[in-house]
C-alpha cells in the first residue's frame, strides 16, 4: 500500500470488493461466516452481505468514514471517532480499545487487488478471531 499520502494509498483501493470472513467465537464456541461486498470511495468504506451463524442468516452492513492525515489513512466510525490508522507497508499491526474490549489487528496488503485482515478481540464478554479476505471484483 504505497503512496505519498493517505489518500494516495486509498486511491489504489477504490472500487468494489468481494468479502469473505470467518469468525471463530471462542466465548460462544461457534463459527460465524460473512459473505458480501465492500465498496470503497474516497470518503467511505461500506460493506453489505449475509452473516451466518448455525442455521440463521442475517443481512449485515457496516460503514466507516475514510480521511487522510499526514501520511496515514484514518478509518473512523460513523460518529467520526477514530477506529484505526493505516500507514505504509504490506503488513501492518493496528490496535483499537473499545471500552473494556481490545481489538488487535493485522492487515496484509498482497496487491492492489487482494488484501486480508485478521482481528483478535478480547473483553469481558468477547473472545474471537476474525479472518477476512478482500478481492477486487
Query: Is 60 within a domain?
Result: yes
Q: Which domain holds residue 17?
A: 6-136
Query: Is 19 within a domain?
Result: yes
pLDDT at residue 12, as a whole number: 80
Spatial strand order of the sheet with 56-69 comes to: 82-86, 72-76, 56-69, 44-53, 30-40, 15-25, 126-136, 114-123, 101-111, 91-98
pLDDT at residue 48, as a whole number: 99
Query: Is 78 within a domain?
Result: yes
pLDDT at residue 13, as a whole number: 86
Query: Is 88 within a domain?
Result: yes
Query: Is 41 within a domain?
Result: yes
| pLDDT by 10s per residue, the chain, length 137 | 444 444 566 888 899 999 999 999 999 999 999 999 999 999 999 999 999 999 999 999 999 999 987 788 999 999 999 999 998 889 999 999 999 999 999 999 999 899 999 999 999 999 999 999 999 99
Query: What separation in angstroms does the CA of 52 have from each of 11, 33, 36, 38, 121?
Result: 32, 5, 11, 17, 19
Query: Is 84 within a domain?
Result: yes
Which pTM value belongs to this model?
Answer: 0.90
What CATH number corresponds to the domain at position 126?
Answer: 2.40.128.20
Query: Is 42 within a domain?
Result: yes
Query: Is 1 within a domain?
Result: no
Contact criterion met (CB below 8 Å) for 117 and 107: yes
pLDDT at residue 69, as a whole number: 78
pLDDT at residue 7, as a whole number: 56
Domains contained in the chain, number: 1
Amino acid at each position: 500500500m504505497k503512496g505519498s499520502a493517505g489518500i494516495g494509498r486509498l486511491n489504489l483501493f477504490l472500487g468494489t470488493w468481494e468479502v469473505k470472513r470467518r469468525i471463530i467465537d471462542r466465548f460462544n464456541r461457534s463459527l460465524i461466516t460473512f459473505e458480501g461486498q465492500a465498496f470503497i470511495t474516497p470518503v467511505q468504506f461500506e460493506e453489505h452481505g449475509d452473516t451466518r451463524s448455525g442455521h440463521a442468516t442475517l443481512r449485515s452492513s457496516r460503514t466507516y468514514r475514510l480521511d487522510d492525515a499526514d501520511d496515514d489513512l484514518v478509518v473512523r466510525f460513523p460518529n467520526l471517532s477514530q477506529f484505526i490508522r493505516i500507514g505504509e507497508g504490506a503488513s501492518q499491526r493496528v490496535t483499537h480499545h473499545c471500552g473494556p474490549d481490545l481489538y488487535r489487528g493485522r492487515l496484509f496488503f498482497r496487491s492492489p487487488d487482494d488484501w486480508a485482515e485478521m482481528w483478535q478481540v478480547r473483553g469481558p464478554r468477547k473472545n474471537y478471531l476474525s479472518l477476512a479476505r478482500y478481492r477486487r471484483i
